[in-house]
Every structure is written in structure tokens, then in C-alpha cells.
């Protein structure tokens, strides 16, 4: 068994959709700024998977300077990274995610996000956990200037 950890953060942007774990979360015309869809959950999952197999980070594979990835759904990144994980002889055992966001409240969306992540990874939803935490109005996340996510994954043979 191997374990990897990932992290991602993006600035809040007006006029963008908020996508978390492949799910569009309504948020008063706000989303996250990024080259792709800026899905912090899927970006953190990619980094965690890559870390678990010792294969670098998401920027090595999907750099924001490459126009091929402009506005790409981040689920595609996860699928491509999962292919690499499987090619190296591993499978995903479980995923644990913490999202840091003052707003929007994620409780109504957690089950859908969990199911989306599980479907993308080809595992049962019971192997995926999604937690949401606020920053108690502290720092850029607490001031609703950014949203971040941490992911921990375990892979086995």
C-alpha cells in the first residue's frame, strides 16, 4: 500500500461556474479562476494519486501554459492520472478530501460530490469521504477570496 497527499487552491472569480469534484455547485455567479475548470478537489486528487506512485505533480502533466488544457473539465485529468496509476500496477483503495471554503455551504452537495469522485475513480462511494470546513473568516479563504482542497489517497496492488 502507498499513500499520497494533494493540495490545491484557486482564487474566486465572478462569472465562472464553481465545479467541485466534477459537480457544478451554484454560487451566485461565482466560481474559481483557473486555466481549466479550476476544480480544486480533482486537482488535489490528481496530486495525491501522483504522489502515491511517486510520479510528480499535476503541473508536470497538465501545465497551465499548454492551451490543450484550456477550460478542460478536471475529471479528464483524474482519468488520465488514474490510467498512469493502473499502468504502474496500482488501484485506488480510498480517498479522503477536505474542502476549505467559507461559502458556499457544501453540505447539500457533499453526497453528489462523493458519488462523482467515486464514479470518476471507478470505486464505490463508500471508499470516498468529503468533508467541508470553514476558515472562521480568517485569511483569503475566510474572506471568500479563495477555495482550497486537501486530498489523501491510498493505493494498493
Structural domains present in the chain: 2-156 (3.30.1330.50)
pLDDT class of 150 with cuts at 50, 70, 90? very high
Grid cell locating 63: 501545465
- Residues facing 97 on adjacent strands: 130, 151
Residue 82 and residue 79: Cα distance in Å, rounded? 5
* Contact (CB, 8 A) for 94 and 62: no
Cβ atoms < 10 Å from Cβ of 60: 9
* pLDDT tens-place string over residues 112-139: 999 999 999 999 999 999 999 999 999 9
Torsion of CA 5, 118, 102, 136, to 10 degrees: -50
Predicted local confidence at residue 36, as pLDDT: 94
Indicate the DSSP class of residue 127: G
Residue 78 and residue 84: Cα distance in Å, rounded? 10
Cβ atoms < 10 Å from Cβ of 139: 13
Indicate the DSSP class of residue 86: H
* pLDDT tens-place string over residues 8-21: 999 999 999 999 99
Residue 143 and residue 88: Cα distance in Å, rounded? 41
Predicted local confidence at residue 124, as pLDDT: 98
β strands within 30-100, DSSP E: 30-32, 91-100
pLDDT class of 45 with cuts at 50, 70, 90? very high
Percent of the chain with pLDDT over 90: 97
Amino acid at each position: 500500500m502507498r499513500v499520497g497527499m494533494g493540495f490545491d487552491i484557486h482564487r474566486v472569480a465572478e462569472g465562472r461556474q464553481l465545479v467541485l469534484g466534477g459537480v457544478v455547485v451554484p454560487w451566485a455567479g461565482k466560481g474559481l479562476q483557473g486555466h481549466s475548470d479550476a476544480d480544486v478537489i480533482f486537482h488535489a486528487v490528481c496530486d495525491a494519486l501522483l504522489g502515491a506512485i511517486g510520479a510528480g505533480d499535476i503541473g508536470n502533466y497538465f501545465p497551465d501554459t499548454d492551451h490543450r488544457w484550456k477550460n478542460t473539465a478536471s475529471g479528464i485529468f483524474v482519468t488520465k492520472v488514474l490510467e498512469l496509476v493502473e499502468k504502474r500496477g496500482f488501484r485506488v483503495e480510498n480517498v479522503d478530501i477536505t474542502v476549505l471554503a467559507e461559502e458556499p455551504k457544501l453540505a447539500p452537495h457533499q453526497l453528489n460530490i462523493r458519488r462523482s469522485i467515486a464514479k470518476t475513480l471507478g470505486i464505490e462511494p463508500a471508499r470516498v469521504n468529503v468533508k467541508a470546513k470553514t476558515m472562521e473568516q480568517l485569511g483569503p479563504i475566510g474572506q471568500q477570496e479563495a477555495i482550497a482542497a486537501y486530498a489523501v489517497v491510498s493505493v494498493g496492488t
